[in-house]
Structure 1
Amino acid sequence: MTTSTINPETTNTFTSTIRGYTVRGKAHSLSAWFVLSLRLMMGWAFAYSGFTKIVASEPFSAGGYLTHSAAANGNPLAGLFAWMGSTPWFVEFANVAVPWGELFIGLGLLVGAMVRLAAFFGALMMLMFYFGNWDMAHGFINGDFAYMLVFLAVAAFGAGRILGLDAYIERYEVDGEPLIERYPVLDYVLG
């Protein structure tokens, strides 16, 4: 029989070192509820946004946004957005990828399945919206940037393991071994 002892000094603590700099933190016991709230909030927002674009009476079109939105206010990616907006195959790709991407990202977050993958693509979309909606009137930080950070936090905290399907998927056994142990690369997708 194996027993384990919980050390109150290390419970709910996290440490990370990047390029020689180490940060340490201790999470409050309610942190899991707030991480779950962030996951569900972003899931609902994205699922709703994607769904309304898909069922709208007029088909979703990204062409005008890509062509005109980034041309003002000294956007550093204005040329890239102009290219995307004037390239027919890319506009057609965006017309499908944006609404369906939002819907699937949102659904993944709502049910807690493949949360890190969903959060990565959500953060990528928010980064593109950040540059597409470029406006320095209020500084570098705006809602798009904040939502990008929320997606990254959801991924970093493994929010799919909190009342989500990822907790069950990771424990699914293949030949008597948990899926996440058999295929460690899935840790970048699940969680």
Structure 2
Amino acid sequence: MAANQMNGQANTFESTIGGITLSGKANSLSAWFVLALRLMMGYAFLYSGVDKILAGGFDAQGYLVGGAAASGSPLVGLFAWMGQTGWFVEFVNVAVPWGEVLIGLGLLVGLLTRLAAFWGAFMMLLFYFGNWDVAHGVINGDFAYMLVFLAVAAFGAGRILGLDALVERYEVNGKPLVERYPKLRYILG
């Protein structure tokens, strides 16, 4: 299998934060790996959400009250409050399985990819602190998945064989949607 050669600035990326500029060049195979990350996380979240819904009776209270305490989480007080607050537990009981389904679907079809990846990263951050397994250091699977979600968002993975590419090009009064409404770039891509 031959890889395409890089041509011009097409595979160059650059970012400046706090006065520090980083730049690099992506390999021509990078799009395939970004797509693979998006599809992998989409499948994982869709499967997890559907499994919870089909099993019925998903109840996060035990996890919120006992899981964080058992793991020694630094946010044990926050998790205990969440698990002892009735309305919040009811919200989480719906938000977790259906959030996983919606995030998974969004990533699989590449629609509202940045929005889906943001919420996926947020959920993984909460799971990171809830599970708090740092026996082998502070980087664990939940933390790694959070970074994968952030990479999917940063690389605009929804533009690679995704519906976001079509939505961004959709014209309103002769102008592409994202040019007419630039803030859509924060949720598409």
TM range, smaller chain: over 0.9
Q: Structure 1 residue 129: deviation in Å?
A: 0.2
Cα distance change on mapping 1:147 and 1:169 into 2, 3 Å? same
Alignment of 1:182 with 2:149, yes or no, is no
Runs of 4+ in 1 over 4 A off after TM superposition: none
Distance in 2 of aligned mates of 1:83 and 1:143 = 25
- Equivalence for 2:99: 101
Distance in 1 of aligned mates of 2:38 and 2:7 = 27
- Equivalence for 2:12: 13
Q: Return 5+ residue gaps in structure 2 as ranges.
A: 1-5
CA contact (8 A) 1:117 1:190 kept: yes
User: How much is the aligned-residue C-alpha RMSD, in angstroms?
Assistant: 1.1
CA contact (8 A) 1:73 1:136 kept: no
Cα distance change on mapping 1:73 and 1:48 into 2, 3 Å? closer
Alignment of 1:49 with 2:41, yes or no, is no
TM-score normalised by the chain length of structure 1 = 0.94
Structure 1 residues 127-138: aligned runs within 5 Å: 127-138=125-136
The 3-state SS of whatever aligns with 2:135 is: helix
Distance in 1 of aligned mates of 2:58 and 2:138 = 28
Q: Structure 1 residue 76: deviation in Å?
A: 1.3
1:58-92 deviation digits (Å, cap 9, x = unpaired): 41000000000111343211000000000000000
- Equivalence for 1:79: 77
**Which one-letter code corresponds to 2:39 in the other structure?**
L
> What is the number of residues matched between the two proteins?
184
Q: Structure 1 residue 176: deviation in Å?
A: 1.1
Q: Return 5+ residue gaps in structure 1 as ranges.
A: 1-6
- Equivalence for 2:86: 88
Distance in 2 of aligned mates of 1:9 and 1:96 = 48
**Which one-letter code corresponds to 2:108 in the other structure?**
L
- Equivalence for 1:37: 36
TM-score normalised by the chain length of structure 2 = 0.95
Q: Identity of counterpart residues, as a percentage?
A: 74
1:157-186 deviation digits (Å, cap 9, x = unpaired): 000000000000001111111100000000
- Equivalence for 2:3: none
CA contact (8 A) 1:16 1:24 kept: yes
CA contact (8 A) 2:14 2:21 kept: yes
The 3-state SS of whatever aligns with 1:72 is: helix
- Equivalence for 1:149: 147
**Which one-letter code corresponds to 1:75 in the other structure?**
S
- Equivalence for 2:63: 65
Distance in 2 of aligned mates of 1:25 and 1:95 = 42
